Structure 1
């Protein structure tokens, strides 16, 4: 669990804020009585946390992987998988376990809760367009969007003060139960470092990798570049060897030109 004493501040519930067009019938095709409750008291105590909840923010980094905007606890035996965009900037950091993988990311949000309700509807609609079987289930923090196709993907969202967390859980159906438990446990002890910079709603909060991890990525990229260069050189050499040898030339011209010159006495 989190280190340090949390400040006792009142929390605003999702029901306290009127929402435009975010009716229950828009989220799921089930009857209103079966609508998952957004205000659910789960088995997880407290988190996710805001770094401002700590008397000493430095304590937030203890026993957590510091990714800049989020500090994520690592499950036993977990490994890290980093996705880079075309510019080489980290776009996602996945926690990989024997059951599958999950990623936790934070986004800019209004001061009042409600963004996750909108995002959940959009995710469900997008999954349906991809012909996935979609269901809305109730988790420790409220609604969770589940899409089933060749594999299973589950989206878990949590609204905070000026931030929203989205956890994506991806794995095989037979391992999903254990994977979801791992993801929820990590999410319950995750810390968000929102910062004071004003940002448009839904802007992803930046991901900053620890320097040792960056160095590993640099070394891996350098090795890949060397391998690619060596492979390209090998291909060029093979192509050169497969071409017929060119006619030898001397200072007096090609062999054929010299033969013509001799025949004509030129």
Structure 2
């Protein structure tokens, strides 16, 4: 199904980050004696508490509100075993974009760990990997067969946002810009509940989308 969107806002600056597979470390809650510095994002992605009304059309997925560029489509990937939503993808001419949010410690700093782990995993799968400085922090480029991948990550207040675009090599030059635009205009709704660090924030579908999927499945 297609949902309209339009990219806006100037390109943003740097961020620090890390991320990894789930482990039992608990999220750091409010502590009067703990005042770790928070990462600062001046131009997105935004925490819902800091987001202003900007007129950018977004699909509301509960924990993330993701912009959809004009002409792109939204695809919902269901998990047959769990019976829920596995992921929501924004399909553009340059590739398929997936944006995911995770619980993070108040001190930030998950993305560099994740980037290192992703590098190891992708190399084990035979991918060709390169890394370099990006708009927020390190960005990863990977090539698996004819598929080009680009990963970015951003730390926020008690959340970490990861974005990836997968597309043909012929679009590899334009794909990173499309990914950055979507990540930059994403709004994260972390919530106040304590969660283990690296827990994926839950995805909920808009009523109309959920109803459409239910009708298709029926």
TM-score by length of 1: 0.64
1:172 aligns with 2:168: yes
- Does the 8 Å contact 1:100/1:172 carry over to 2? yes
2 CA distance for matches of 1:156 and 1:83? 21
- Does the 8 Å contact 1:51/1:60 carry over to 2? no
User: Which gives a bigger RCO, structure 1 or 2 (Cα 8 Å, sep 6+)?
Assistant: 2
1 CA distance for matches of 2:70 and 2:56? 16
Q: Which runs of 5+ in 1 are unaligned?
A: 3-12, 16-40, 223-266
Q: What is the CA distance between 1:144 and its match in structure 2?
A: 0.9
2:166 is paired with a residue whose SS is: strand
Q: Which residue of 2 aligns with 1:79?
A: 73
Q: Considering fraction of residues, name the structure with more helix.
A: 1
2 CA distance for matches of 1:205 and 1:195? 9
- Which of 212, 218, 223 lines up with 2:214 in the alignment? 218
1:105 aligns with 2:100: yes
2:57 is paired with a residue whose SS is: coil
Q: Note the aligned Cα RMSD (angstroms).
A: 2.2
Q: Considering fraction of residues, name the structure with more strand.
A: 2
Q: Which residue of 2 aligns with 1:197?
A: 193
Larger Rg belongs to: 1
- Does the 8 Å contact 1:133/1:148 carry over to 2? yes
TM-score by length of 2: 0.78
Q: How many residues align?
A: 182
- Does the 8 Å contact 1:60/1:191 carry over to 2? no
